[in-house]
Amino acid sequence: MSKEPKITPQRAVVAAVQLPRVSDAEFEASLAELRELAKTLGFEVLATFVQKRASFDSTAYLGSGKREEMRRFVQGEPADGPQEAPAAAGRGVKSSDRRIARHGAVAAREAAKALSGTDNSRAAFVLVDHEISPSQARNLENEIGCQVMDRTTVILEIFHRHARSNAARAQVEIARLRYLAPRLREAAKLAGPQGRQRSGVGGRGAGEAAGEADRAKIRDRIAELKREITAFDLERRTQVARRQESQGLERVALIGYTNAGKSTLMRALTGSEVLVADKLFATLDTTVRALAPEGVPRVLVSDTVGFIKNLPHDLVASFKSTLEEAAEASLLVHVIDASDPGFERQIEVTEKVLAEIDAGKVPRLLVFNKIDRVGDADAQLERAKALRAQFPKCLVMSAMDKEDIARLQKAIRAFFGRRLVKAELFLPWAAQQLRGELFASCEVLDERADSEGAFFRVRGVRKDIEDLRERILRFGVP
């Protein structure tokens, strides 16, 4: 049997401008996240180029000196020496900024030596940690010599590749088209008269701009996709209504930052075979499974799409129907990566998105996952102690630990257990066909029998108990 060819990952470099209002910690976290996004797309990041500026360069995002440094690196040319801080940054540059510039130039020179200038080693993409205009992207591509993808484009491409259901694919396509439409408009401006479709004498007359024709196609396609999503949403609401009609059924949604371990928790809590991958946005389609082992009330668990900082607004809007699983849940299990030093930023981003989908007031349980990745046992104990001190009602756990999973299941059942009531039901021998339904919808605490029938002391949802009473009354029992 022949072996499958080995796929070589696309090589890329990351570029970012740090503005004065952005702290070092926040900036580094954003860069680390972009590198993870690149990994999810299958890119190998060769280097990261950072520049501190008062504002983005309107021509090509980065200053001319940094663009030249990147060009030399991408083309495999030896660096002439440390680059000076660009004039656009102004005079009086801090010594720390100069050190950063020198460090970047030295790193580029060493990397260029390692690359040896061969075609296979050159980067094919520049990943920019901001959303930039088409003119900035085009100018950057022309100067550096490789394709430019901004942060929004990277996220949209990941969503496009990972969407599985028809609804998710339609939602992603809408977001991509909305992102493309204004860029077509700007691209037409940059193209000038050549961007227009000529007709009539001298190119004047009833000729329609080619860009306008493309935008009309985009509008028509978006309208078509919206109709499809409306149909998908109606079907989803019907399924939700059916689930809500089921006896003793409650809903939990796993929410949180992307790659916090939600799918792994879903698998452990429900015993289901859901996709688990150490990648950002591994889950885009909502998965619903029953909490196992089943109890009273029956609990359905939803695994939802992960959140991320600077998630494109159109994606939030497009995925609102998917994220409504969170808004419609009775309990949100907010999963946080305990091994991430920037977990507070994760919480902030998640809270912001929850507010956007009107789920901010839904009760939630904070779960700090991946404590096993913090370090040795002493480090884990120290981190767990600090987290419990900061968040007294949280759970600190590992999805790989069966005892931790059992604790989480107990906490979920305890939340819904507060809604249960106790009652006594009498089931005559003539109505024993209801016995299975009684055990399915209620927790039987005690059972005794006499010549007339059986007495049950039960605990369950008030509505389920009342429904059972009504059905028993049909057999003429007072």
Beta pairing partners, 253: 302, 332
Residue with token string 């590198």:
35
Q: Would you state the pLDDT for residue 270?
A: 86
Average pLDDT over residues 43-50: 93
* Spatial distance between the Cα atoms of 254 and 220, rounded to a whole number of angstroms: 35
- Say what the pLDDT of residue 172 is: 83
The number of beta carbons lying within 10 Å of the beta carbon of residue 210 is: 16
Q: Is the link from the previous residue into 478 a cis peptide, with omega within 30 of 0? A: no
Strand (E) positions, 326-389?
331-337, 364-369
pTM of the model: 0.67
Residue 89 pLDDT > 50, yes or no? Answer: no
The first and second tokens of residue 231, run together, are 């149909």
> Per-residue pLDDT for 304 more than 80?
no
Angle between helix axes 166-191 and 320-327 (nearest 10 degrees) is 140
Per-residue pLDDT band at 404 (split at 50, 70, 90): very high
Beta bridge partner(s), residue 448? 455
Confidence of residue 99 (pLDDT cuts 50, 70, 90): very low
Predicted confidence at residue 6, as pLDDT, reads 45
Q: How far apart are CA 262 and CA 284, in angstroms?
A: 12
Whether 261 and 399 have beta carbons less than 8 Å apart is answered as yes
Q: Are 51 and 86 in contact (CB under 8 A)?
A: yes
Note the pLDDT of residue 197. Answer: 47
Interatomic CA distance for residues 13 and 185, integer angstroms:
28
All residues at 6 or more sequence positions from 178 whose CB lies less than 8 Å from its CB, including other chains? 222, 314
pLDDT band at 5 (very low <50, low <70, confident <90, very high): very low
Return the pLDDT at 383.
94
Q: Please check whether residue 335 is in contact with residue 254, taking contact to mean a CB–CB distance below 8 angstroms.
A: yes
According to DSSP, the residues that pair with 80 across neighbouring strands are none
pLDDT band at 10 (very low <50, low <70, confident <90, very high): confident
In the sheet with 125-128, reading across from the earlier edge strand, the strands are: 43-52, 10-18, 125-128, 147-150
Report the pLDDT averaged over residues 255-276. 78
- Over residues 184-196, the pLDDT tens digits come to 766 666 555 554 4
- In Å, how far are 7, 148, 215, 355 from 128, measured between CA atoms? 24, 7, 26, 28
More confident residue, 463 or 378: 378
Amino acid identity, position 261: G
| Residue with the larger pLDDT of the pair 411 and 326 | 411
The pair of three-digit structure tokens given for residue 110, joined into one six-digit string: 């060493």
